[in-house]
């Protein structure tokens, strides 16, 4: 069911739970990943940063401010960059209460106990779950964290996750993807991310020819997806996984354009649409 380009009508659209089922639980916590699993997402998306003592942790932002209580716990350490804190310091933070405040309709007392997970902890949890859900891992700010790719690949290898069907890599950084290409078996997919501004009004053929020399797919912001982009991506044997697609109307539109998978904060909605097809 995973990562197949250009299926016929009625195809399965890969469900990529963006930061976990982050519409329903605090992003990048085991609670959000657990919900993604329960909803039967094909992939859990992980954004990785690195701590001061070199641990890979799952968090979207380069700073701890938005998704933890770091400002209360360490008031004198602005701007609270992940790279300036050790893992032990980060483990003191509450990574869920912000969500309860922002989304009271989905609040749960349990979320107040959530911590920022390390990559190793996510893998341990996923392994014991015995689920088929795979990881879709993004190297964030790889220019800031030297040795990030080697460390990432080392952890996946040690845990038996450097296998087709268990992991996909994604990055906005071509350099990071090229590094990964040199480190992983050729059958592990690499996906180039594009924000709207980086490819809007640029020659599509040139971009796709270039990316197909080192990657297996593209993940553009949904606003720039057109039928032409999808068709051309498939001509270059690239899969296309737009982000971040949250309403059923948006999902329907993207599916009609022929995409292969979608990043979404609401994986249950896309799973439901797959069932209807
Ligand atoms: O990785 C796809 C999408 O997540 C990219 O944007 O900012 O949510 O990491 P962002
Ligand atoms: Ca991401």
Separation CA 140–CA 171 (nearest Å): 7
How many CB atoms are closer than 10 A to CB 80?
Answer: 20
Active-site residue (options: 28, 49, 60, 241): 60
Domains of the chain: 14-63+117-276 (3.20.20.190)
Q: Is the CB of 136 under 6 A from ligand 1?
A: no
How would you write the pLDDT of the chain (277 residues) with one tens digit per residue? 345 444 446 799 999 999 999 999 999 999 999 999 999 999 999 999 999 999 999 999 999 999 999 999 999 999 999 999 999 999 999 999 999 999 999 999 999 999 999 999 999 999 999 999 999 999 999 999 999 999 999 999 999 999 999 999 999 999 999 999 999 999 999 999 999 999 888 899 999 999 999 999 999 999 999 999 999 999 999 999 999 999 999 999 999 999 999 999 999 999 999 998 7
Is the separation of the CB atoms in 262 and 245 below 8 Å? Answer: yes
Distance CA 184, CA 130 (A): 24
| Catalytic residue flag (residue 18) | yes
State the maximum Cα–Cα separation within the chain, in Å, rounded to a whole number. Answer: 56
222 Cβ inside 6 Å of ligand 1? no
């Amino acid at each position: 069911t995973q990562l197949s380009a250009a299926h016929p009508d009625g195809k399965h659209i890969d469900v990529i739970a963006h930061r976990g089922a982050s519409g329903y639980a605090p992003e990048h916590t085991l609670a959000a990943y657990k919900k993604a699993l329960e909803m039967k997402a094909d992939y859990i998306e992980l954004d990785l940063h690195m701590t001061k003592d070199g641990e890979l942790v799952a968090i979207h932002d380069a700073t701890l401010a938005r998704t933890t209580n770091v400002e209360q716990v360490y008031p004198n350490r602005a701007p609270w960059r992940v790279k300036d804190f050790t893992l032990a310091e980060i483990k003191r933070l509450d990574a869920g209460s912000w969500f309860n405040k922002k989304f009271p309709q989905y609040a749960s007392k349990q979320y107040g106990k959530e911590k920022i997970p390390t990559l190793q902890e996510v893998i341990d949890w996923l392994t014991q779950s015995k689920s088929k859900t795979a990881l879709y891992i993004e190297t964030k700010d790889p220019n800031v964290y030297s040795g990030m790719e080697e460390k990432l690949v080392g952890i996946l290898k040690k845990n038996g996750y450097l296998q087709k069907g268990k992991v996909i890599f994604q990055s906005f950084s071509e350099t990071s993807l090229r590094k990964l290409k040199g480190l992983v078996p050729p059958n592990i997919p690499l996906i180039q991310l594009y924000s709207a501004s980086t490819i809007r009004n640029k020659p599509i053929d040139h971009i796709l020819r270039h990316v197909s020399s080192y990657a297996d797919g593209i993940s553009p912001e949904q606003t720039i997806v057109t039928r032409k982009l999808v068709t051309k991506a498939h001509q270059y044997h690239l899969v296309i996984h737009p982000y971040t697609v949250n309403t059923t109307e948006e999902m329907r539109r993207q599916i009609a354009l022929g995409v292969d998978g979608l990043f979404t904060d609401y994986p249950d909605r896309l799973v439901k649409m797959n069932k209807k097809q």
